[in-house]
């Protein structure tokens, strides 16, 4: 025998239900208003099955919403978290949020680091709102904060104002070269070196819950240097594996790069480099058509090539190599793959401020 059609109590007429549905800002609550609205249409009320398909719910879920509405009216559809301690009913005022955000900028009274329980204690002491320690962290979410590991930055790194001046200076330098050479293409590349060796790199991997993965490990101190050239605008790249980082190796890398990327000297290449000794040495003879543009000291965040090393290290992570030859075999294949996939590289090195120049 077929189940009888679910009847909806007339707590609100169809116009009121439509208005509540349109004005509701909470996604879950809005969906529940849609359920009641579809079931109580004055001319063509929908079945439980049709309503469940439209709202993305199960038939039992739709019946549960209908029963709650019939028993409690509009109150049965609201987001009940609003009525719980720590919900929106106890949300801090704008002034209290400003004071809390200001307090979080300095260390807590014990000199340690802020945590959910410490935030809850502060809120209870100064604002009179008692929260369970396990839920106090939600106030940090309301302030737009998240738990993150700080990015290490050298204490002598350039300030934001100095970085802005550097970017403006680079843009002015490019404009100057374009005025001097209107018939030549001016492009910006970046170069850096990464030291990779037999000392293993450990990376996180996905694994079944309850089973901690392991990776073989053996510390040895033999190295190879990867010289990387990247073009932020397109993701084009050029890599070399050399035994050392010094003036003679840099000279070789520059000559091979110029021959590969700009053999007919049709372009003028501005090459962003850090201020390492082998970059700034007077013994280094920069090939024609390439102009060095030194980065600010200790400011790696301005170096696009720094961002590509994670793609290179990924290929050798969680592995142990018997010797440098075995390591270089993997690195060569990875470098070739990166050079053949500029879109992947561009996603890492395509700094907006460089592409805008």
Domain range summary for the chain, segments of one domain joined by +: 14-78, 90-142, 160-207+218-355
Secondary structure element (H or E) that encloses residue 312, with its range = helix 309-313
What is the signed CA dihedral for 22, 23, 27, 32, rounded to 10 degrees? -60
With a cut of 50, list the residues of the chain below it in pLDDT: 1, 85-89
pLDDT at 255: 96
Considering only CA atoms, which of 322, 240, 254 is closest in space to residue 284?
254
225 three-class SS: strand
Give the pLDDT score at 82.
55
- In angstroms, the first-to-last Cα distance of the chain is 74
What is the predicted pLDDT for the residue at 1? 44
pTM greater than the 0.85 cutoff: no
Which residue matches tokens 């969906």?
Answer: 31
pLDDT score of 221: 87
pLDDT of 137 reads: 77
What's the gap between Cα 14 and its chain centre? 45
What's the pLDDT score for residue 214?
A: 83
Q: Which residues have CB under 8 Å from 177's CB, separation 6+?
A: 186, 268, 270, 291
Q: How many CB atoms lie within 10 A of CB 346?
A: 20
Assign domain 160-207+218-355 one CATH number from 1.10.10.10, 3.40.50.720, 3.20.20.70, 3.30.420.10: 3.30.420.10
How far apart (Å, rounded) are the C-alpha atoms in residues 294 and 253? 17
């Amino acid at each position: 025998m077929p189940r009888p059609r679910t009847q909806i109590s007339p707590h609100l007429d169809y116009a009121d239900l439509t208005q509540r549905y349109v004005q509701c800002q909470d996604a879950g609550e809005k969906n529940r208003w849609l359920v009641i609205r579809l079931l109580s249409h004055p001319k063509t009320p929908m079945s439980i099955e049709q309503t469940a398909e439209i709202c993305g719910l199960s038939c039992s879920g739709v019946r549960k919403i209908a029963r709650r509405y019939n028993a409690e009216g509009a109150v049965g559809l609201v987001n009940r978290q609003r009525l719980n301690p720590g919900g929106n009913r106890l949300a801090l005022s704008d002034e209290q949020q400003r004071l809390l955000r200001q307090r979080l900028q300095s260390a807590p009274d014990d000199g340690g680091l802020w945590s959910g329980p410490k935030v809850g204690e502060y809120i209870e002491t100064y604002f009179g709102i008692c929260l369970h320690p396990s839920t106090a962290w939600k106030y940090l979410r309301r302030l737009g904060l998240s738990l993150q590991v700080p990015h290490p930055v050298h204490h002598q790194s350039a300030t934001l104002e100095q970085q802005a001046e550097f970017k403006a200076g680079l843009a002015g330098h490019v404009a100057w070269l374009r005025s001097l050479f209107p018939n030549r293409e001016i492009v910006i590349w970046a170069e850096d070196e990464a030291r990779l060796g037999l000392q293993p790199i450990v990376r996180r991997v996905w694994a079944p819950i309850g089973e901690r993965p392991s990776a073989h490990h053996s510390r040895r101190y033999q190295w190879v240097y990867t010289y990387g050239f990247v073009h932020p605008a397109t993701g084009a790249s050029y890599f070399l594996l050399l035994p050392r980082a010094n003036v003679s190796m840099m000279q070789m890398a520059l000559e091979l790069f110029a021959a590969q990327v700009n053999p007919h000297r049709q372009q003028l290449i501005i090459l962003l480099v850090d201020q390492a000794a082998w970059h700034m040495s007077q013994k280094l003879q920069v090939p024609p058509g390439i102009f060095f543009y030194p980065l600010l000291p200790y400011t790696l965040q301005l170096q696009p090539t720094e961002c590509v090393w994670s793609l290179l290290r990924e290929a050798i992570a969680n592995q142990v190599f018997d010797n440098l030859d075995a390591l270089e075999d993997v690195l060569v294949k990875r470098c070739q793959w990166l050079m053949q996939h500029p879109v992947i590289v561009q996603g890492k090195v395509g700094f907006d401020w460089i592409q805008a120049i």
